[in-house]
Amino acid sequence: MSLGTVLWPALLAGLAHTGLGQGHDARVPDPSEASYAHLSTALALDPCGSAYGSDWQDVDSQRAIEQARAQLPRDTCETDEVRGLLFRARFLQYALLARSAEPWQVFDVMEAQRRREMACPDVDCLHEQLLVEIAWLSPRYGASLEVTLQTTGLCDVPEELEPSRVGELLPPEVARVVEDQCQGDFTLMACHGSHRLLQVACGMGGVAVNSPEWLWESSSSEVRLLLQSDEGPLMRLQGSCNGMFDIATSARASMGESHVVHYRYDGTRYREVLSYIRESIDLPGGIATYPERGTRVDCR
């Protein structure tokens, strides 16, 4: 059976509702246009090293480059067309991952694609596999450029409360943790809607763009922690699972890099489903490097 006839039907069907359906092909840059801050990023996108120049000539870097190339079928890096297709597929994978509203599903497709690449015994097989991948990735990446991923505040109907009420609304031991971690500087918000939520965010001092944040569900019988992150603010996404909206955080890791985490509600609390580093490589939109799959949450 040709690789072109097998497109992982379960995964692809699952992506149908992400908003990243068929779209227009988008221009993929030439490898020489990329600027890499890390060798690991260069190897992820361009394992053949098409445009490394004089960078990373030390022994350890050269060994890492050799190891990356050794994982490819023989003659891959000596075949111009396949080398170019490899960069194109890698760029589309990581760029689509960074732009998807539900990147955990894109990640699962990527993993399936990589397994099929690894199973290729020769460069001809890899050539066919990369063509299949690009045919699927390219229009979806093009469509993603036409969509702005929407993030909003957590509350449909927010009510800002006096911080002094934190001891009244939360268990004493929880209130003490909030007071200590925020050093008395925080906002307290109640969300009214299908779920009564309490949200606390520590203040951001100086040039900080992230701070600890908590989210609880409050009922007449208990206050239940749903999510705590040191990388707030918590951003509400358009998707939902088990009756609650999806959440993401984005924490600045360094100049041009952010640590992004996506969460989904499992019916009891929020679980981390995917994280990655959003990295600028001097190309439009950035890419998602070091992706890590977390908990697989079933939506009922």
CB 272 within 8 A of CB 261: yes
Pick the residue with more confidence: 56 or 19? 56
Which string of DSSP letters, residue by residue, matches 119-135? T--SHHHHHHHHHHHHH
Relative orientation angle of helices 123-144 and 80-99, to the nearest 10 degrees: 30
d(CA 106, CA 93): 8
The whole-model pTM stands at 0.87
Banded model confidence at residue 143, pLDDT cuts 50, 70, 90: confident
Using an 8 Å Cβ cutoff, are 241 and 198 in contact? Answer: no
State the alpha helices, DSSP H only, in the chain: 9-14, 39-45, 59-70, 80-99, 103-118, 123-144, 166-169, 172-182
Question: Pick the residue with more confidence: 253 or 277?
Answer: 277
So what's the pLDDT on residue 288?
95
Mean pLDDT over each residue of the chain, to the nearest integer: 86
pLDDT of residue 52: 65
* SS3 call for 285: coil
Higher-pLDDT residue of 152, 129: 129
Helix (H) or strand (E) segment spanning residue 240: strand 235-241
**pLDDT at residue number 253:** 85
* Residues found in the chain: 300
Phi and psi of 156, rounded to 5°? -70, -45
Give the separation between CA 182 and CA 167, rounded to whole angstroms.
Answer: 14
Q: What is the pLDDT of residues 181-222, one digit of tens each?
A: 999 999 999 998 788 999 999 998 766 789 999 999 998 889
Token pair of 283, please? 């190309």
- Phi, psi at residue 282, to the nearest 5°? 60, 30
Report the C-alpha gap between 150 and 119 in whole angstroms. 38
- The percent of residues in the chain predicted with pLDDT above 70, rounded, is 87
Please, are residues 86 and 48 in contact by the beta-carbon 8 Å criterion?
yes
Overall average pLDDT of the 262-280 stretch: 96
Tokens of 169: 């609304």
Q: Are 215 and 226 in contact (CB under 8 A)?
A: yes
How far the first Cα of the chain sits from its last, in Å, is: 35
Strand, coil or helix: 95 = helix
Helix/strand/coil for 297: coil
| pLDDT tens sequence across 90-117 | 999 999 999 888 999 999 999 999 999 9
Q: Which two tokens stand for residue 244?
A: 């609650």
Burial class (CB in 10 A: 0-12, 13-18, 19+), 53: exposed
Structure tokens at 187: 């906002």
pLDDT score, position 69: 92
Contacts of 217 (CB under 8 A, 6+ apart): 195, 196, 197, 198, 223, 224, 226
CA dist 142 and 113 (Å) reads 19
Q: How far apart are CA 3 and CA 82, in angstroms?
A: 16
Residue 46 above 50 pLDDT? yes
Q: What is the pLDDT of residue 205?
A: 77
Q: Is the pLDDT of residue 158 over 80?
A: yes
pLDDT at 50: 61
Q: Give 61 or 296, the one with higher predicted confidence.
A: 296
Q: For 149, which DSSP code?
A: P
Q: Residue 106 corresponds to which tokens in the numbers above?
A: 């894109």
Q: Does residue 8 have a pLDDT over 50?
A: no
